[in-house]
Structure 1
Amino acid sequence: MFNDCIIMAGGSGTRLWPASNSKTPKQFLSVNNDGSFFNDAVDRALAVTGGDGRVIVIAGKTHVPHIIRVCKKYSDNDKRRMVLIPEPLAKNTAPAIACGAFYAGGKNREDRNVLVLTSDHIIQPLAVFQADADAASAFSAKGNLAIFGIPPRGPETGYGYIETGESLADPGTAAAETAVYKVLSFREKPSPEKAEQFLAAGNYYWNSGMFGFSSRFILEEYRRNAPEIFRAFEKLAAPGEEAYTVQGGIRVLDKWPGLEAAYHAAPGISVDYAIAEKCSQTVMAAARFEWFDVGSWDEYARLASAPSSPGRSSGEAPGAEVYTQDSSGCFVHADLPVALCGVDDLIVVVQSGKDGCPGSVLISKKGATQGVKNIVEQIKAAGRTELL
């Protein structure tokens, strides 16, 4: 079991534009009738840290209101286990994780076994994830970087890959059913031909972006492999109670002296480049849980479509108000009422601007929503970044 969990909740998630944007990114979109991607991540964090482990959320300043809003569902005891650290700048994942690791260790650099979770993936069932996390925890507690690898479902070119070597013996945990391997290398997002080769080889896995470590181990890796980041954050003093405010029952570390200076000093780089690819003590737990990145509206529509209601479209995101006539196979995600007449197999996304971004609409044929990334580039080129 892990002592603490860091949830990375920053980013803008433009692959699900326009519903996902800089003010309301993907992790706060609803994925079921109970909550958001972020809620599911918190549920995982609470489960793998026992009854008293901490949940450390790293997010942008603009995300704080969303986090407070979606965390209303949690008990007072669960909220007491949470701390939210607003990032003064977006500097990619390596500085964010360094910040969380320094916070976890505290002023005495206590050694904590820490799990890092993404906040915008679908992972199920929770019990299987817990068992796989227990296996990773046993290895990370003994001085390894423990990565979660996803068995590939096809020759996907949109993910990085992990090349694995020998199978490793369980160092002492009840989660022996989870296979753990020595990591040989990390591979960039491949060409279609290379992805086919990885799939045929049988020892390559998708990189989930989730991993565990002991706080002392990872800070030593930062000291050796990312010294600029280490030096920037090691100057931080342990925050006193005056550094926190309480919002919605959650402690928000919004007055940590020196945090802004640390982020300004640290280079912006991913933890993969800064640490993981350079670490020689890396193992991979082969996930037995189901994992979906939800990187397009087609994928979102498939996973998040609610049961149809009389007079409504057969595919609606939770909360959408949709009316149809002679239309079929459409999916609608909208915060305004939408009517469809005589159209088939469309994905319609409407953002009214209630979240502070300008209103915008996406209409796409089903199967074509990967093109949203090109639309986003066109918007940037047009100088309309306020739409993002």
Structure 2
Amino acid sequence: MNPIDELRAARPAHLGDRPADPRTRAAELSRAMAQPRPARRRRRPARPVWSLGLAAAAAVTAVAVVVATNGTASTPRAPDRPASTRQAVTLSAREVLLAAAARAERQPEGKGEYWHTVSVRRTLYAAAKGGYRVLDQRQDEGWTPGATGADQKQWGSMRSLGARPATEEDRRAWERAGSPASIEVTVPGKPRPMVLKTSPGRAMTGHSRLPDGDKVFWLGRNVSVKDLRGLPRDPDQLKKRLLSWKGRADDVPMQGDAWLFVISTGLIMDMPVTPEVRGAAFRMLAELDDVRVIQNVTDAEGRTGTAVAINEPTLADGVAEHRLIIDEATGSALASEYVAVKPRGMQTGLEPGTMWSSTAVIKAGWSDDQPE
């Protein structure tokens, strides 16, 4: 069974064939990759695709999982602007987004046979024993063909970067537990713990044909590269188009602004839209009433940017802050992050302000280099 088929097999049965939104990929993929697998012949690195959010392609969908701790370890906090700069904030979210739009529109589009993306995903879990938390870290790489047809394939590679204690206090608790190289973490609704390794793993590679011959992404419905290239460049028309595809995210009904923020974050971060459409997405977000700005934010890769954020509902009437971190110099997205605001359901036990899921964009652009 190749890795793409393994991911499909790991898809929770209760989700059926309904696609999930881009933010739901990390945890279920972590769960799928953490299970023991039979020995396989050696392969050369490539990447399982995150194009369709993998969800609409009937690969794996995910529910972002954060587990309540069984101990007293401190909680990782969401990076915020330094206290000394908090009084110096002068830009509104609208101003930040409009500036990002102008810079994004000026970026060269590039050319190539494949839309090539590399990202690093981190998810917070609680150890089943020992009272500490760990961050599971995985690198995803994907090649989505710009052309369509019966012979076209999407390629992907997933590689565990290893789990590590989330904070220094967690590290001390992990060391008191014997510094285990394999860490059992609890997952709500699952009868057995999931096992995470502290050492990096080998890349798991695979490919699959495009669903319906051309569908590769999800924007409320399955869409093709052609659909993305044809999105309106006018922000009002783009908003109308995206709202017409409105659905649910993580089984949570989304209101208009939250829906637009969720969908637009995926579009801005890692989809092959034109620079003009990416600029239109920024301009559309600039008109949302509920979006706010957080300056001088450091993402999980150590890069500093400016975040625009909105509160989103989660399961069990919880609330999470969704942050899109932007490099203001280029108008490029650096990362998408989720911070617990009103921890409920799978986030029960977290302190408000805890960073529990992040996706950092390492690379996104057109390339002629093919997976091997």
TM-score tier by shorter-chain length is: under 0.3
Higher relative CO (Cα under 8 Å, sequence separation at least 6) belongs to: 2
Which structure shows the bigger proportion of residues in helix conformation?
Answer: 1
Which structure shows the bigger proportion of residues in strand conformation?
Answer: 2
Q: Provide TM-score, normalisation by structure 2.
A: 0.26
Q: Provide TM-score, normalisation by structure 1.
A: 0.25
